[in-house]
Copies of this chain bind each other. A is one copy, B any other.
Amino acid sequence: MIIVMKKDATQNEIQTVVNRLEAIDCEAHVSVGRFRTVIGAVGDRNQILQLPLEALAGVERAVPVMRSYKLVSREFHESGTVIEVRGVRIGDGSFTSVAGPCAVESRDVLFETAEAVRAAGATVLRGDAFKPRTSPFSFQGLKEKGLILLAEAREEFDMPFVAEVLDPRDVDLVADYADILRIGTRNMSNFALLTEVGRTKTPVMLKRGFTATLEEWLNAAEYIYKEGNQEIILVERGIRTFETASRNTLDITAVPLLKEMSHLPVLVDPSHASGKRHLVAPLARAGLAVGADGLMVDVHPAPDTALVDGAQAILPDEFAELMRSIEVMARALGIPL
């Protein structure tokens, strides 16, 4: 932390800052310049962050220099985390494709989709049994019945599945069925839920809050990690900006940045980012181009009858075509699928 004192800060005010830092066992480096005094605080970052430095007399600004997350940082753990579920490895340098319907609606739709995405090259199935909906009157998911169907599809098509969990009270239930739990964008800062999934032994996909900075996102991952669950996959799914031509703006720059900042694997979700079917394939290819560890795509055999987010789901045929281009690009770039 760098503490910039006001131009007219007194010697006493400077000393008070130093004392407060030393009281929590930090080093305080005082630099007296021509215009201002600047104090560099070195020590346990979480302790420093708890000091109300900007409330102290004579302080103009306190600028954090070190990041507030630690366990999920690349500094803490140099080599990338690799997560293995039923033989599928995520984060090992290969490119993993997760696909399936947004929500589980019926056995038929789920099975038809799972069969098609498996044939096209997807290795993990997606499908939700609990859906967070902006309006309380929208379809909220099949709940346990949906999880049972997903588990059947897993056996039938031999692919692990990921499903969203919304409520800390449902974590055990979802974890009983799913191979990977997913925390959705609206729950990224639901600390009660993060803590609860952190107590399971099931890998977690943590979607970025659509208005979260990378630092806030990694702090959310830290909540999970701290409880003992180290198998976390980050999913970039677009952020809210002033542009309304697409639903959200896929922040592709986040992928190489996260790769530097953290050891966790990173997927991109072009379906929820764009909200539009015809944008899914180019954005998916962009994800591969920037070094993501995989992608997650909504696929539905009849998007215009889908109960949730039909406008963004691609057809099984479109998914197969996307996978062919992914394969060609991945081969050219030397990335295994």
A interface residues (Cβ-Cβ under 8 A, vs B): 2, 4, 7, 27, 29, 31, 33-36, 38, 40, 42-43, 46, 49-50, 52-57, 61, 63, 65-66, 68-69, 75, 132-139, 166-169, 186-187, 189-193, 195, 210-211, 213-216, 219, 222-223, 226, 239-246, 249-257, 260-261, 273-274, 276-279, 282-283, 285-286, 288-291, 303-307, 309-311, 313, 325, 328-329, 331-333
Contacts and interface: CB of A to CB of B under 8 A. Distances in A.
Contact of A138 (B50, B69, B134, B137): B50
A195 B169 CA distance: 13
27 contacts: A2-B38, A2-B63, A27-B33, A34-B43, A35-B42, A36-B42, A50-B138, A53-B311, A55-B310, A55-B311, A63-B63, A134-B189, A136-B222, A137-B226, A168-B192, A211-B211, A245-B253, A245-B254, A246-B257, A252-B283, A255-B282, A256-B279, A257-B279, A282-B289, A286-B286, A286-B289, A329-B333
A267 B72 CA distance: 36
A252 B255 CA distance: 13
Nearest to A325: B333
A136 B329 contact: no
Given A75-B7, A219-B134, A214 B33 contact: no
A254 to B, nearest CB: 8
A46 B307 CA distance: 12
A26 to B, nearest CB: 9
Contacts of A135: 46, 49, 68-69, 219, 222
A331 B276 CA distance: 28
Contacts of A35: 42, 66
A138 B49 contact: yes
Given A167-B168, A288-B289, 17 more contacts: A2-B63, A46-B137, A50-B138, A52-B305, A54-B311, A57-B304, A168-B169, A169-B192, A213-B245, A214-B243, A214-B245, A241-B242, A246-B257, A252-B252, A282-B291, A285-B289, A286-B289
Nearest to A223: B136
A244 B243 CA distance: 11
Contacts of A241: 239, 241-242, 249, 251
A241 to B, nearest CB: 5
A29 B29 CA distance: 10
B329 A289 contact: yes
A43 B35 CA distance: 8
Contact of A52 (B168, B251, B261, B310): B310
Contact of A210 (B33, B132, B211, B291): B211
B46 A40 contact: no
Contact of A283 (B33, B253, B282): B253
A222 B138 CA distance: 12
A32 to B, nearest CB: 8
Contacts of A195: 136
Given A66-B35, A243-B213, A313-B55, A50 B307 contact: yes
B311 A282 contact: no
Nearest to A251: B249
Contacts of A50: 138-139, 307
